[in-house]
Amino acid sequence: MVEIGNAAPSFELPSENGNVSLSDFKGKWLVLYFYPKDDTSGCTKEAIGFSEQLDAFREAGAEVLGVSKDSVAKHQKFREKHDLTVPLASDEGGDIIDLYGVWVEKSMYGKTYMGIERATFLIDPEGVVREIWRKVRVPGHVDKVLKALTDHAG
């Protein structure tokens, strides 16, 4: 389980712009967010929120990257449909999702199943996890992450 103060687990994942890795963000802050599925209501609202605030994150010295098990092609359709600017990476095999501890047992309508917990990790320019939000509720989340970033980054 990743905890605050730990080195962020390394990753390399495919995205619509080629492979993306943790090392690509060395020297910058990274907001790494995991979400269950493209084009569902909560995930769409979250992606739109990060897209709308992407310039503010970049002004504060951070990049934002969303990750789910959806394919790169599905991510591309999702981005086009909702005019998203936030980059999305695909972890179809779930290795990185598992590494970050966000593959969890969930329940809906009395049935349990495994799925991605909506979670966000704030990683500093040296690759250290500075904040973690688990079981994220979408309303107000992007603003909380941006505030934490500006508090840490100064």
Catalytic residue among 13, 43, 62, 97: 43
Which positions ≥6 away from 131 have C-beta within 8 Å? 4, 120, 121, 122, 145, 148, 152
Q: In sequence order, what E strands does the chain have?
A: 12-15, 18-21, 29-34, 62-68, 88-90, 103-108, 111-116, 119-123, 129-133
For this structure, is 43 an active site residue? yes
Return the active site residues. Answer: 43
